[in-house]
Amino acid sequence: MDASDMGDDLEKVLLSKEQIEARLDEMAAEIDADYAGKDLLLVGVLRGAVMVMADLSRRMHTSIEMDWMAVSSYGSGTKSSGVVRILKDLDTDLHGRHVLIVEDIIDSGLTLSWLVSNLRSRGPASVEIATLLRKPEAAKVEVDVRYVGFDIPPEFVIGYGLDFAEKYRHLPFVGTLAPHVYNG
């Protein structure tokens, strides 16, 4: 899928495929340098992180394993509450492991903050976070994000794993939708 398949549903491209790829090159190099000589477990948070996981991991030279979690956060409307339910847990024992959570976007950061404490309670050697995108709200929560691709404005974005009503995840770029898409 590309911009040409979206008719007038696309408002604007925020980050092009080329910008995302160039930044993933840098992030992969940084993570490789930090975990040199170690085994790393990448934990992807379904479903949005699928694209970041695929493209980031393929740029890395570090010995990695991958596992996935699905969580749902209870909240009113579009705001997450920080009360989280595990829909699919990891299959991997985290004891003594270096864990890097891979995320698409951090908005309020509440889901992630819960996830970090949950994973830390399982006896890992370390738990860090890598996210492609971060919104300004995330700064309010006490969660230390080691690797950030881009800080973006507080707008609702789609593409590169991110959906609106499960659509647009397979766009190669990150963009915003025209208002008529939300308003029907």
Report the nearest approach of ligand 5GP to the CB of residue 116 (Å): 12
Q: How far is the CB of 15 from Mg ion (least distance, A)?
A: 16
Q: Is 104 a catalytic residue?
A: no
* Interface stretch with Mg ion, choices 67-75, 100-108, 123-131, 134-142 (CB under 5 A): 100-108
Helix (H/G/I), strand (E/B), else coil: 103? strand
CB of 110 to ligand 5GP, least distance (A): 4
Q: Which H/E stretch holds residue 60?
A: none
Residues 6+ positions from 131 with CB-CB distance below 8 Å: 52, 102, 103, 104, 105, 106, 145, 147, 148, 149
* Residue 176's binding partner out of ligand 5GP, Mg ion, none, with CB under 5 to 8 Å set by partner kind: none
From residue 38, give the alpha-carbon distance in Å to each of 32, 61, 180.
Answer: 9, 11, 49
Q: Which does 106 bind (CB under 5 to 8 A by kind): Mg ion, ligand 5GP, none?
A: ligand 5GP
The CB-nearest residue to Mg ion is 48
Instruction: Supply 126's token pair.
Output: 């370390």
Binding site for ligand 5GP (CB under 6 A): 48, 73, 80, 104-112, 156-158, 162-164
